[in-house]
Amino acid sequence: MSAVQRRAVTELLRVAPVADDLARRFEAAGYTLALVGGSVRDALLGRLGNDLDFTTDARPEQVLAIVRPWADAVWDVGIAFGTVGCRKRLAGSPDYQIEITTYRSEAYDRTSRKPEVSYGDSIEDDLVRRDFTVNAMAVALPGITFVDPHGGLADLAARVLRTPGTPEASFGDDPLRMMRAARFAAQLDFEVAPEVVAAMTDMAERIEIVSAERVRDELNKLIVSDHPRKGLELLVTTGLAEHVLPELPTLRLEVDEHHRHKDVYEHTLIVLEQAMALEQPGEPDLVLRLAALLHDIGKPRTRRFEADGRVSFHHHEMVGAHMSRKRLKALKYPKDVTDDITRLVELHLRFHGYGTGEWTDSAVRRYVRDAGPLLDRLHKLTRSDCTTRNKRKAATLARAYDSLEERIAQLAEQEELDSIRPDLDGNEIMKLLEVPPGPLVGKAYRHMLELRLEHGPMDHETAVAALREWWTANAPA
């Protein structure tokens, strides 16, 4: 028995109690059931989790009738696409999340953003419609019978992504599969077969008929994978990125202002990898990774050739933040995620604005205030943005950032840096100045906040005196 087979048997035996129990219920009702797709692939790779995918000749209504008396919870949100979900708990085991899909095929017409679903009659018909051969394998249950009509096991061993039929037919049926090719390359560290890459290149523009939400979800899975660079480079090489993330390939045309790399595109991919290295093990940070990917997209629009021969990108962080917001909105990212990423892009150069000298207390307070809850991510993004090959320069920048973090820690012991507020709140300001709510109170509040940032905490008497001094100069006639 090969190592692959041993891993598969071990994984399948682990889930056998729940899988066999479910399969026998389908058999008793006159239907077939098979573990399929990613579940079989992951079993062969020795990484099968508790999310199990099954396929069956039973129609969705019949599936519901079988699983409702058996499962601990059932949901039918995917029933329009032939999928029924359920949860099952066995004694001594964690919950199994199960999806059961009727044999099916799905295809887009030339303008639709939603696939048209039709049901198939055999598992072979179902498997030929799967995206890649490594996902077109099944294990018929009960009693383990391996079904592999398209050589998925051989491709898995070779670590290559091919389509069961022609890639043109596959991507014609569902253009999102082109994004999945990049995603699986990034997740599994597989190579994509040349004929698949060629079809992706020829058909790249067809991705535009797929909804932004589905594209975004595939992009997210790619970004948080173990090898996102591999998938991103495939998107750029095939031209898919020009339709889903056009700011990325545009970076290939630009020269980094420090001439540290061939182009800003290469620099960006290195920053992404360095940011990943600063994450907690096993906890990929989508916001940090997307900020790293987008942090320099403002450079193409701000490039200037200076008289001394240098290339400058003044204010590219502000332009990049605006561009990031526009792109993330187009991809339908949630508002909080969009806000966090654009803020990180906007702030990623703030550290360099202070040079490498000693940070004043005022500068530290403003840095912490502006970063807010994103401070830890900003630390990681700023450190990752150093890709110079000059070891002395890299060490100098690292020491400067170490110094900043030390200053933040020192001030945090003395002051509430996480929630910097003026020493007088709005109610106190209105009472002391004897004014109602309005713009003047806001101006007074902002003045007191600036004093707090510049000079640190004040006692009450000093704060009142400072407010009255400001009022003397700014009170209306």
Query: What are the angstrom distances between the C-alpha of 280 and each of 4, 83, 336, 380, 469?
Result: 30, 35, 22, 11, 49
Q: What is the DSSP letter of 309?
A: S
- Cα–Cα distance, 95 to 312 (Å, whole number): 55
pLDDT interval class at 1 (50, 70, 90): very low
SS (H, E, C) 194-225: HHHHHHHHHHHHHHHHCCHHHHHHHHHHHHCC
Question: In the prediction, which pLDDT does 396 show?
Answer: 80
Q: For residue 235, give Cα distances in angstroms to 179, 183, 212, 298, 438.
A: 8, 9, 16, 20, 52
pLDDT of residue 106: 59
- CA–CA distance, 199 with 165 (Å, rounded to integer): 12
First to last CA, the chain: 93
| Average pLDDT along the chain | 87
Phi, psi angles (nearest 5°) of residue 89: -115, 130
Tell me if 366 sits within 8 A of 407, measured CB to CB: no
| DSSP assignments along 214-261, one per residue | HHHHHHHHHHTSS-HHHHHHHHHHHTTHHHH-THHHHGGG---TT--S
The per-residue pLDDT for range 373-384, each reduced to its tens digit, is 899 999 999 999
User: Is residue 180's pLDDT more than 50?
Assistant: yes
pLDDT score at 114: 64
CA 270 to CA 215: how far, in whole Å? 24
pLDDT digits (tens, 9 = 90+) for 299-317: 988 888 878 878 778 889 9
Angle formed at CA 222 by CA 12 and CA 297, multiple of 5 degrees: 170
State yes or no: cis peptide before 142, omega within 30 of 0: yes
Q: How far apart are alpha carbons 241 and 121 in whole angstroms?
A: 37
The 8-class DSSP code of residue 421 comes to -
Which one is predicted more confidently, 326 or 398?
A: 326
pLDDT given for residue 239 in this prediction: 98
Q: Are 411 and 366 in contact (CB under 8 A)?
A: no
Q: Residues of the chain with pLDDT > 70: what percent? A: 91
Q: How many other β-carbons are positioned within 10 Å of the β-carbon of residue 434?
A: 7
Contact 448, 463 (CB under 8 A): yes
User: Residue 309: what pLDDT?
Assistant: 75
Q: b/e for 101-133, b at 16 or more Cβ within 10 A?
A: bbbbbeebeeeeeebeeeebeebeebbbbbbbb
Q: Are 433 and 395 in contact (CB under 8 A)?
A: no
pLDDT in tens, 386-445: 887 778 888 888 888 888 887 777 776 655 655 667 777 888 888 888 888 888 888 888
Q: Is the pLDDT of residue 475 over 90?
A: no
Structure confidence by residue, pLDDT tens digits, 334-379:
999 999 999 999 999 888 766 555 677 778 888 888 888 899 999 9
Dump pLDDT digits (tens) for 279-288.
999 999 999 9
More confident residue, 96 or 310: 96
Question: Which tens digits make up the pLDDT trace of 22-48?
Answer: 999 999 999 999 999 999 999 888 888
Q: Among 5-19, 48-62, 166-180, whose mean pLDDT is lowest?
A: 5-19
Q: What is the pLDDT of residues 258-277, one digit of tens each?
A: 444 448 999 999 999 999 99
Tens of pLDDT, residues 46-92? 888 899 999 999 999 999 999 999 999 999 988 888 999 999 988 77
- Position 354 scores a pLDDT of 63
- To the question of pTM greater than 0.95 for the whole model, the response is no
Tell me if 137 sits within 8 A of 41, measured CB to CB. Answer: yes
Q: What is the pLDDT of residue 260?
A: 44
Could you identify the residue written with the tokens 């179902």? 126
- Tokens (6 digits) for 358: 């000693």
The structure tokens listed for 361 are 């207390």
The pLDDT assigned to 261 comes to 42
On whether the CB atoms of residues 384 and 394 are closer than 8 A, the answer is no
